[in-house]
Amino acid sequence: MPLYQYTAMDSNGKEQKGKKEAGSEEEVATFLKNQGLFPTSIKSATKGGGGKGGKGGGGGKGGGFNMNISLGPMVIKTKDLTVVTRQMAILLEAGLPLIRSLKTLSRQSKNPAIKKTLEEAAASVEGGATFSEALAQHPKSFDKLYLNMIRAGEAAGKLELILDRLAMFMEKAAKIQGKVKSAMVYPIIVLCVAGIICSGLMIFIVPKFEKMFTELLEGEPLPWLTQVVVGIGKFMSEQALIMVVGIVVLVILIKIILKIPFLRFYIDWAKYNMPLFGPIVSKSAISKFGRTLGTLMGSGVPVLNSLTIVKETSGNEVVARAVVKVYEAVKEGEGMAPPLQATKIFPEMVISMIEVGEETGKLPEMLDKIADTYDEEVDNAVSALTSMIEPIMMVGLAVIVGGIVIALFMPMISIIEKLGSS
């Protein structure tokens, strides 16, 4: 019996390779589908070409069967995926079949990643795969949250409703993420500009003044502030390469540290509790927790699966550890409110709303309300921070630049007095 080599994907998008003896490529494909796998490539592994194709391993069937499903590196960006999800929901609501909807969106799209992904998804569905199985072949474009919601929609026969809910979830998540980023980016930009201005003054301007002071003051000591500024300027101009290397090393170290879960927890805890930015980080984390868990549970995803996905997509180790405690409690048949309260990172209002949601059997709706409430609070916190940080930044920049200017002009008084007396 011929031997075939295959490549297949499981429901999580993980690639599996192996060999199987069978009468034909179709038998191997059937075997893999019965195992819950989706074949992407099947070819003869028999020496000399084997299989149905007769001689040689080149042409015809004998050279191997390939389903032409390319798993290229193209990834659909979140913004584009939101639009595609919304369009897919509209087409399905209008009564178009799934395959036709996929082909229509693929044909209309000018984005190569979208076009390629949807073409492959349509081919997979035509080949007998479910929509979720087809999307699972592209794990970099479709995360676990997306795939689990699609599976729930397929099981309930409400795929268009789930896609609409997914699109809404992604739109709101992108909106709140954008506001948080804008709050963080503004002060960083101001600090970078201030750093460039100050570095330029210290490296290029201060050394010229130092030479002038040395010549005109003829060995007299400089004021202490001027000495400090001149010393810093001299160090920066002489050790510029070391400073650049140091900054690069620091950035690399920070990236390494952020990948260590133990240290990430303390970093996230510090962000959660820091002044000014802390309230925005905590409120956005609570909003994301409520929105993600509410959307998943409201779509029919089992509660334990939902909690696992929330933990993996939280982006915050403090929240992730809290969700682990909730998972363990729910697994033992307990409610969510007590373990959340024990973590002390969720406000009493959130705990009370979750408790009421559990008692009334409307937890998904209550979680959505929590997310909506905290979305508004993030808006208010961002506005308050922006209005507060602008004057602080301006005053800080004025103090630094003004201090440098004053330090450079202080010796001028002695120089003018000396010239006047002579």
Q: Render pLDDT for 177-191 as a digit per residue (tens, 0 to 9).
A: 888 787 778 788 888
* Same domain? 51 vs 139: no
Position 375 in a domain? yes
CA distance linking residue 110 with residue 80, whole number of Å: 11
Look at residue 56 and tell me whether its pLDDT is greater than 80: no
14 & 119 share domain: no
Q: Tell which of 155, 170, 185 closes a domain.
A: 170
Q: Is the dihedral angle over the CA atoms 332, 265, 284, 82 positive or is it negative? A: negative
Pair (26, 86) in one structural domain: no
Helix and strand numbers, DSSP H then E, in the chain: 17, 4
The pLDDT of residue 85 is 93
Which residue range forms the structural domain that includes residue 260? 175-422
Contact 6, 17 (CB under 8 A): yes
Q: Please state the rounded mean pLDDT for residues 252-281.
A: 85
pLDDT grade, residue 115 (50/70/90)? very high
Query: Is residue 257 in a domain?
Result: yes
pLDDT digits (tens, 9 = 90+) for 363-404: 999 999 999 999 899 888 888 887 888 888 888 888 888 888
CA–CA separation, 160 vs 85, rounded Å?
A: 10
Beta carbons within 8 Å of 327's beta carbon, 6+ residues apart:
304, 307, 308, 311
Within a domain: residue 109?
A: yes
Q: Which of 170, 192, 216 is the last residue of a domain?
A: 170
Answer yes or no: is pLDDT of 8 > 80. no
3-state DSSP assignment of residue 118: helix
User: Is 81 in contact with 170 (CB distance < 8 Å)?
Assistant: yes
* Stated pTM of the model: 0.65
Confidence of residue 63 (pLDDT cuts 50, 70, 90): very low
Clarify whether residues 379 and 406 are in a common domain. yes
Largest Cα–Cα distance in the chain?
Answer: 111
According to DSSP, the residues that pair with 65 across neighbouring strands are: 42
Return the CATH number at 112: 1.20.81.30
In whole angstroms, what is the distance from residue 164 CA to residue 150 CA?
11
**Do the domain assignments include residue 71?**
no
Q: Are residues 244 and 163 in the same domain?
A: no
If asked whether residues 165 and 29 sit together in one domain, one would say: no
- In this predicted structure, what is the pLDDT of residue 55? 37
Please name every residue paired with 362 in a beta bridge, in sequence order, or none if there are none. none
The values of phi and psi at residue 157, to 5°, are 70, 25
Per-residue pLDDT, averaged over 55-61, amounts to 40
pLDDT at res. 248: 92
Q: Residues 260, 154: one domain?
A: no
Secondary element (H or E) of residue 7? strand 3-9
Is residue 72 one of the residues assigned to a domain?
A: no
Position 60 pLDDT exceeds 60: no
Q: State the total domains in the chain.
A: 3
Does residue 277 share a domain with residue 246? yes
| Domain termination residue (choose one: 107, 142, 170) | 170
Question: Average pLDDT of the chain?
Answer: 83
**CA nearest neighbour of 407 among 140, 152, 213:** 213
My answer on whether 56 and 91 are in the same domain is no
Same domain, 162 and 207: no
Do 379 and 293 belong together in one domain?
A: yes
H-state helical runs in 201-302: 206-217, 224-238, 240-258, 261-273, 278-298
| HSE, side-chain direction, 13 A CA sphere, residue 146 | 22
Q: Does the pLDDT value for residue 145 go beyond 90?
A: no
Q: Return the structure tokens found at 267.
A: 């970093």
Tokens 């809910």 belong to 165
pLDDT class of 327 with cuts at 50, 70, 90:
very high
